[in-house]
Amino acid sequence: MNEDKTEDSLHAGPIDRLDRRILQALQENGRISNQELATAVHLSPAQCNRRHRRLERLGYVKRYETRLDADRLGLGVTAFVHVTMERGQFKEVLKFQRTINRMPEILECHAVTGDFDYVCKVVASDLKSLSNFLLGTLAQLPGVNGVRSSICLNELKCTSALPLPD
């Protein structure tokens, strides 16, 4: 058994305070250098790097990404779209789930409880483009029974950072 596998199995349980500090620093700046990260969490660079890589291997870090400015890219309209599916159409639900993953306009989609089956976060360049997407594409998908949208007037908070207890 190699050293990494041994270290992973020894620390596969709950993460400790230092791990949470590393994760918090990474949430704040995914491009932080190992030296800066080590300084921020008060560890040696080697120890910090080992912990960081272990957290990645164990799946605590899903991926690193760059957050782009939608307005600057001409995507000035954000909407939250509630989708209702036809009842008893299990095959269509699976097809819907596969199809929406290929639609770049849909940033997020969540299966939810309540009056709707899914809530999707959608971006578009303008209201006409949004309308074309909702009525001409999303509402036309097999199994979709209804689509209702709410236009975002102002974004007050947008983060993917998770709250990490001390």
Q: Is 42 exposed, middle or buried (0-12, 13-18, 19+ CB in 10 A)?
A: exposed
Residue 32 lies in a domain: yes
Domain assignment of residue 69, yes or no:
no
Residues 81 and 42 in one domain: no
For residue 14, give every residue at least 6 positions away whose Cβ sits within 8 Å of its Cβ, in sequence order, or none.
none
Residue 66 lies in a domain: no
Based on the domain organization, do 42 and 12 belong to the same domain? yes
- The token pair at 37 is 């990260």
pLDDT in 10s for each residue of the chain, 166 residues: 444 454 444 445 689 999 999 999 999 999 999 999 999 999 999 999 999 999 999 999 999 999 999 999 999 999 999 999 998 777 888 899 999 999 999 999 999 999 999 999 999 999 999 999 999 999 999 999 999 999 999 999 999 999 998 7
From CA 116, how far away is CA 162, in angstroms rounded? 26
CATH code at position 41:
1.10.10.10
- Same domain for 86 and 124? yes
Residue 8 belongs to what domain range?
3-57
My answer on whether 100 and 45 are in the same domain is: no
Tell me the CATH number at 143.
Answer: 3.30.70.920
Q: Quote the tokens at residue 46.
A: 């080697």
> Are 52 and 84 members of one domain?
no
User: Which letter does DSSP use for residue 108 in this model?
Assistant: E
Nearest residue to 133 via CA among 87, 72, 78:
78
Tally the domains of the chain: 2
Q: Are residues 33 and 89 in the same domain?
A: no
Give the separation between CA 97 and CA 141, rounded to whole angstroms: 10
CA 124 – CA 132 distance, rounded (Å): 10
139, 87: one domain: yes
68 within some domain: no
Q: What is the pTM of this model?
A: 0.83
Q: Note the helical H segments in 11-103.
A: 17-28, 34-41, 45-57, 90-100
Residue 120 lies in a domain: yes
